[in-house]
Amino acid sequence: MSTNNGNKNAYEIRLEVLQMAVGMIDASYYAQLDKVRHIAKDQPYELPEDTRVRDALRTAKKLYAFVEGDGNAE
């Protein structure tokens, strides 16, 4: 989808930013899950609340605002 000169359009940049955010949030969630599993050992445990979609969208918005040069990503 990129042009021959390597430039990306806004949609491609947004997609990459979203993929980055999903990766970051997934890594954080699975780190929490591993921590819970480690603490629980062989006992039953409760899964951490799964807010990955909301958190990924929020993180992507902040990252994209940074890419745009907007210091007010909140």
How many domains does the chain divide into?
1
Q: Examine residue 5 and state whether it is found in any structural domain, yes or no.
A: no
Q: Examine residue 73 and state whether it is found in any structural domain, yes or no.
A: no
User: Which structure tokens are listed for 19?
Assistant: 């993929």
Residue 12 has pLDDT above 80, yes or no: yes
Q: Examine residue 7 and state whether it is found in any structural domain, yes or no.
A: no
pLDDT in tens, 38-68: 999 889 999 999 999 999 999 999 999 988 8
Q: Examine residue 2 and state whether it is found in any structural domain, yes or no.
A: no
pLDDT band for 23, please (50, 70, 90 cuts).
very high
- Distance of alpha carbon 53 from alpha carbon 73, whole angstroms: 18
User: Which structure tokens are listed for 27?
Assistant: 């890594």
> 25 is in which domain, residue-wise?
14-68
- Distance of alpha carbon 62 from alpha carbon 73, whole angstroms: 5
Q: Examine residue 8 and state whether it is found in any structural domain, yes or no.
A: no
pLDDT band for 69, please (50, 70, 90 cuts).
confident
Q: Examine residue 52 and state whether it is found in any structural domain, yes or no.
A: yes
Q: Examine residue 6 and state whether it is found in any structural domain, yes or no.
A: no
Q: Are 73 and 66 in contact (CB under 8 A)?
A: yes
